[in-house]
Amino acid sequence: MTHSIPYPLTTSNILQAIDTRYYQFFVQVGLFVWATFYLDVLMHPMHVVLTIAAGVITQIAFSRYFKLPINLLSTLNSMMSILILLHSSSWMWMVLAAIIAISSKFIIRCGDKHIFNPSNIGIVMVLLLVPETWADSGQWGQGMWFILLLASLGLILLLGISRMLTSISFIATFIGLIFIRAYWLDAPLALPLHQLQNGAILIFAFLMLSDPITTPNSAFARIIFGAWIALFSCFLQYQFFVDNAFLYALAVSMPLVLVLNRLFIGKQYHWPRKQRRY
Amino acid sequence: MARFFILLTTFLLGISLISSAQAFYGFYVGKDDKPLFNKSSQVVYVRDGDRNIITMVNNYKGEAKDFALVVPVPTLLKKDEIRIINNATIQRLDDYSAPRLVEYHDSDPCQPSETTYELSITPPAPVVNKAEQLGVEIEAKYTVGEYDILLLSAQESKNLVTFLKSEGYQLPAGAERVISRYIKQDMKFFIAKINLTVFVETGYTKLRPIQIAYDSKRFILPIRLGTLNAKGEQELFVYALARKGQVKITNYRTIKLPTNRELPSYIKKKKLFGKFYKDMFNTQAKKYNKVAFLEYAWNMSHCDLCGAKPLTNKELKELGVFWKDDPVYLSRLHLRYDKKKFPEDLMFQITADHSTFQGSYALHHAFTGAAQCIAGNKYFHKELPKRFKEEIKTLAELTNWKIKDIRKQQGIPKHNTYQTDDWIERIWD
């Protein structure tokens, strides 16, 4: 295990050696607890238990089948994303989202990596297929943008700016677009600021778009990809009045990552623990 | 004399400012006679697929000739897409979904076990039509019930504003910018004025709600025009009716009104429930920024401790519910808005959330009999004071009323302490 200690012992080396997934898990659990106890967004405890159980069981089953080591950290993170973003009137659809999310990692692959962001595809498929589900982008309100921004900065410290370029580029483009729209509408500054402070957008940008596995390998491609998602989301929302447009924009755009990876060569990301095994 | 401009909150172009606070009158709780919220408006929004049926209630008290309602709409409406419905149906919907009091009476401890609006009528002023000269297209003109309806489209907000001004409307400051914003978003303008001849013939003393129906993907309420009213905050009640479940706002947070609290019983005796509701809402609205409040969410087919009976199929149909057999979910949202608090129009989505909610407050009337027993002593000297203390605290927290004043109003009923020499009775004390 000695080789897992970063050398030389600089702050940035230590930070980079920490598996970011612990941090993401911590932030997501924090958000879930905040939503439950402070924002009064109540989810049936059974939904929580069954969603996590379904994700874990699916992960174990596929890992056994493909004879892979069982790693539950990513699974737990995907499940937390589902619990934070998805609502359903029945536990069944939460479980279905969990199963789709995890299965997609093993079934829909190109080369040595999966194509879809697991929680994103799980949520989007269920939203499209089952009328009994919904995503509530209003639930976070406008009051917590500062906390979310701090949490996002933590993620940038851990993953490094380069790996967070999709999120950063998404937010930058989104800000640009809503300010241009406000300028075109001759609306007061309060309008774009209000749109920007929506907790759901920030959670999506920094927790879902930050997944280093499914975003493009090259830093430049990540910038393009983030900007594209912002552009596409705004198009869906303002032209077609689609609710939760950013979730759909990401799901539909994932094949674009394959193209970007061909066009722009970059290094595939691996979680620190996996690196240690080599 | 200048004509005024009313903008019903939602869609309603802010209101003409000259008529001061008379412009909006509003909403009543239960059967109280006094208006609770000034400058309030009510909108019933039935949505299913891309179909939208919106009923706007004109809580207007003033001279009928001064009334005008300006609403941005996504499509040009045909005559049969506009109609008038009865005020009584809206009142029923309000009564059914309003916060309610639930009363309980303690048993003997010794034996365990609308709004009315009056409009003064004056003859209509002659209307001069300058629309064409100004590049404002009068797309349609109808008379529906007591209203004259105009549907306008314009390329330039300046022209529309000039046209409206030439018609005698006093536009609030900033109207042009806001109108321009809606024109850019491809919205048309729906304008309703009172046709006084018809209005007199109908014999009504109060304006009836206008209902419009159209197909559009947009599930929004354009409140920006309403915020132009410089006279501070406005009150909006949205009664959303959907087939699938609760309707939620997607761009603002929605908070549930505090509910299931126990209040001192004098609230009922002194007819203070209306004031309680109003002050509780004030306290909540001050506490939270940029939020809407959920006041009621229920499947219309049944209800628990209803304030009024659920609406009949006929009443629902009048409100625009066009589907049969399937459930009708009502979400009653209440918000207090101004330019700062709500910089963006309200956007909604229908969800499959079937959870129920109602604002419900319990009163326990104390037993007032003699209660000459040991349990009676305990009830009057221990249980009641403890309960009253908690109820007073709850009431003070919810309404910001002074504890001292509440305590003064809620006296503990008198009780002559029961004395007994029977040692067996006393050992259980």
Q: What's the pLDDT at B115?
A: 34
Whether A143 contacts chain B with CB within 8 A: yes
Residues of A in Cβ contact (< 8 Å) with B253:
39, 138-143
Query: pLDDT band at B26, cuts 50/70/90?
Result: very low
Report the largest interatomic distance among the alpha carbons of chain A, rounded to a whole angstrom: 61
Percent of chain B with pLDDT over 70: 79
Cα–Cα distance measured from residue B398 to residue B406, given in angstroms and rounded to the nearest whole number: 12
Indicate the burial class of B302 (C-beta count within 10 angstroms; 0-12, 13-18, 19 or more): exposed
Whether A39 contacts chain B with CB within 8 A: yes
Query: pLDDT band at B292, cuts 50/70/90?
Result: very high
Mean pLDDT of chain A: 88
Q: Report yes or no: A102 and A56 within 8 Å, Cβ to Cβ.
A: no
Chain A interface test: which of B227, B246, B251, B260 (most A C-beta within 10 Å): B251
Indicate the burial class of A5 (C-beta count within 10 angstroms; 0-12, 13-18, 19 or more): exposed
Give the model confidence (pLDDT) of A153-164 as tens digits. Answer: 888 888 888 889
Two tokens at A133? 């589900």
Tell me the nearest-neighbour CA distance from A71 into chain B, angstroms: 34
Angle between helices A118-129 and A91-107 (to 10 degrees): 130
Cβ pairs bridging A and B (under 8 Å): 79
Cα–Cα distance measured from residue B409 to residue B88, given in angstroms and rounded to the nearest whole number: 36
Query: pLDDT band at B318, cuts 50/70/90?
Result: very high
Which residue of A lies nearest to B257 if distances are taken between CA atoms?
A40
Q: Report yes or no: B164 and B171 within 8 Å, Cβ to Cβ.
A: yes
Query: pLDDT band at A206, cuts 50/70/90?
Result: confident
Which has more confidence, A227 or A5? Answer: A227
Q: Report yes or no: B359 and B100 within 8 Å, Cβ to Cβ.
A: yes
Q: What's the pLDDT at A180?
A: 96
Closest CA to B50 of B326, B322, B352: B322
Strand order in the sheet with B346-350: B220-221, B346-350, B247-249
Q: Is the pLDDT of residue A13 over 60?
A: yes
Q: What's the pLDDT at B425?
A: 65
What does B195-247 look like in DSSP terms, one character per residue?
-HHHHHHH--SSPPPEEEEEE-S--EE--TTGGG-SSS-EEEEEEEEESSS-E
Q: Is the pLDDT of residue B19 over 60?
A: no
DSSP assignment, residue B110?
T
Give the model confidence (pLDDT) of B108-145 as tens digits. Answer: 888 766 433 333 332 223 333 455 566 677 888 888 88
- The distance from CA A115 to its chain's CA centroid, rounded to whole angstroms, is 13
Mean pLDDT comparison of A10-24, B7-21, B54-68, B398-412, highest-scoring range: B398-412
CB contact under 8 A, A142 and B252: yes
Percent of chain A with pLDDT over 90: 58
Closest CA to B399 of B290, B293, B306, B274: B274
Q: What's the pLDDT at B125?
A: 31
Going by their DSSP bridges, the two strands B68-73 and B188-194 should be labelled as: antiparallel
Query: pLDDT band at A71, cuts 50/70/90?
Result: confident
Q: What's the pLDDT at B22?
A: 25
Mean pLDDT of chain B: 78
Which has more confidence, B286 or B8? Answer: B286
Lowest-confidence range among A208-217, B44-53, B369-378?
A: B369-378
Give the model confidence (pLDDT) of A97-156 as tens digits. Answer: 999 999 999 998 887 788 899 999 999 999 999 999 999 989 998 888 888 888 888 888
Closest CA to B320 of B56, B21, B138: B56
Which residue of B lies nearest to A139 if distances are taken between CA atoms?
B253
Q: What's the pLDDT at A16?
A: 62
Mean pLDDT comparison of A165-174, A197-206, B373-382, highest-scoring range: A165-174
Which has more confidence, B383 or A172? Answer: A172
Percent of chain A with pLDDT over 70: 91
Q: What's the pLDDT at B427?
A: 65
Q: Is the pLDDT of residue B151 over 70?
A: yes
Report the largest interatomic distance among the alpha carbons of chain B, rounded to a whole angstrom: 100
Q: How many residues does chain A have?
A: 278
Q: How far is CA A164 from CA A177, B138, B196, B426, in A?
A: 20, 53, 65, 76
**Which residues of chain B from 108 to 137 reach within 8 Å of chain A, CB to CB?**
none
Lowest-confidence range among A245-254, B81-90, B97-106, B345-354?
A: B97-106
Q: What's the pLDDT at B34?
A: 39
Q: Is A13 helix (H, G, I), strand (E, B) or coil?
A: helix
Tell me the nearest-neighbour CA distance from A153 into chain B, angstroms: 24
Cα–Cα distance measured from residue B358 to residue B400, given in angstroms and rounded to the nearest whole number: 22
Which has more confidence, B119 or B37? Answer: B37
Cα–Cα distance measured from residue A195 to residue A184, given in angstroms and rounded to the nearest whole number: 16
Which residue of A lies nearest to B176 if distances are taken between CA atoms?
A186
E strands within B74-186? Answer: 82-84, 100-105, 136-144, 147-154
Q: Which amino acid is at A245?
A: A
- Tell me which residue in B180, B249, B352 faces A134 most closely, judged by beta carbons: B352
Question: Which H or E element spans position A114?
Answer: strand A113-114
Q: What's the pLDDT at B29?
A: 23
Question: Which H or E element spans position B193?
Answer: strand B188-194
Q: What's the pLDDT at A11?
A: 67
Cα–Cα distance measured from residue A175 to residue A177, given in angstroms and rounded to the nearest whole number: 6
Q: Is the pLDDT of residue B168 over 90?
A: no
Closest CA to B367 of B28, B100, B110: B110
CB contact under 8 A, A194 and B344: yes
Q: What's the pLDDT at B121?
A: 31
- The distance from CA A105 to its chain's CA centroid, rounded to whole angstroms, is 14
Average pLDDT in the B5-18 region?
Answer: 35
Cα–Cα distance measured from residue A264 to residue A254, given in angstroms and rounded to the nearest whole number: 16
**Per-position b or e across B242-274, b if 16+ CB within 10 A of its CB:** bbbbbbbbbbbbbbbbbeebbbbbbbbeeebbb
Q: Is the pLDDT of residue B5 over 50?
A: no
Average pLDDT in the B181-207 region?
Answer: 83
Q: Which amino acid is at B294?
A: L
**The complex's ipTM?**
0.88
Q: Is the pLDDT of residue A1 over 60?
A: no
Q: What's the pLDDT at B11?
A: 37
Average pLDDT in the B208-222 region?
Answer: 92
Q: What's the pLDDT at B368?
A: 82
Q: Is the pLDDT of residue B177 over 60?
A: yes
Percent of chain B with pLDDT over 90: 29
Query: pLDDT band at A235, cuts 50/70/90?
Result: very high
Q: Is the pLDDT of residue A46 over 90?
A: yes
Whether B218 contacts chain A with CB within 8 A: yes
Give the model confidence (pLDDT) of B54-88 as tens digits. Answer: 999 866 666 677 677 788 899 989 888 999 999 89
